[in-house]
Amino acid sequence: MTAHEIDYDIYGEEMQYVEIELDPQEAVVAEAGSFMMMDSGIKMDTIFGDGSNQDKGVLGKLFSAGKRMLTGESLFMTAFLNVESGKKKVSFASPYPGKIVPIDLTEYGGKFVCQKDAFLCAAKGVSVGIEFSRRLGRGFFGGEGFIMQKLEGDGMAFVHAGGTMARKVLAPGEVLKVDTGCIVGFTKDVDYNIEFIGGIKNTLFGGEGVFFATLRGPGVVYIQSLPFSRLAGRVWAAAPRGGGKDKGEGSVLGGLGDLLGGDNRF
């Protein structure tokens, strides 16, 4: 399997976007909703599955789309093909504050495992599937991290890390313990499992969840400081209820201030 060779630049600091330069007949595939802008002369097409070269015939495309459905993603992806004779550019934006991480699959043995919502876009020919686990611990207790995607091939792929991104290089046998939602991805040789935190106080009052992920080297691990689930949880917790303006926002009384503020709707 040979993916299209693409050039790229990443712009921005907190809300980044990646600009990909396509030679004639080169293409890139992306998740729905990540598109930002493109030059004229680029044809946008919705495809079944991931558009990798290994998907031949109807059954192959159905199998590829089925793998994506298991991860909770859409059955379809969007392909952007340069149909003109000159170089053209297309850009894809981060879904929320963080960093875009370029992954050259040739540097990682042709495979990279990532969170199911971390994938942004890739050169056409890169296979986007799911990473099957034979360990019950991952399946039952993995939470945010038990369904992982795998990116396979010899091209460029781009994943998104929320907040600040940390890159850890693990030596053989070295173990890193991580909140399951903070994992962006890791190379194929990293052993990944779910572990019980233990201790009744930690379980009931720790506030950090009951399980965490253990990553054992050798390999490279990418960690994010702001998982989308954590960001969404904070936004939901701070959102005013009942559709009205929260009068107690920023006050000492908080929600109690609404009761004492003289609401005359009765």
Task: Name the residue ranges covered by the structural domains of the chain.
Answer: 7-238
Q: How far is CA 34 from CA 91, 105, 109, 111, 120, in A?
A: 9, 21, 27, 22, 7
Q: Which DSSP string do the residues of 152-165 spell out, in sequence order?
A: ESSSEEEEEEESSE
What is the DSSP code (8-state) at residue 5? P
Q: Please report, in tens digits, the pLDDT of each residue of the chain (266 residues total).
A: 577 889 999 999 888 999 999 999 999 999 878 899 999 999 999 887 666 655 455 666 566 556 556 656 666 789 999 999 999 999 999 988 899 999 999 999 999 999 878 899 999 989 888 776 655 444 444 444 457 888 999 999 999 999 999 999 999 999 999 988 899 999 999 998 887 765 544 444 444 456 788 999 999 999 999 887 777 777 777 778 765 555 455 444 454 455 455 555 44
Residue 61, classified by CB atoms within 10 Å of its CB into exposed (0-12), middle (13-18) or buried (19+), is middle
Helical segments of the chain, H only: 57-70, 136-141, 200-205, 228-238, 256-260
Alpha-carbon radius of gyration of the chain? 22
CATH class of 7-238: alpha beta
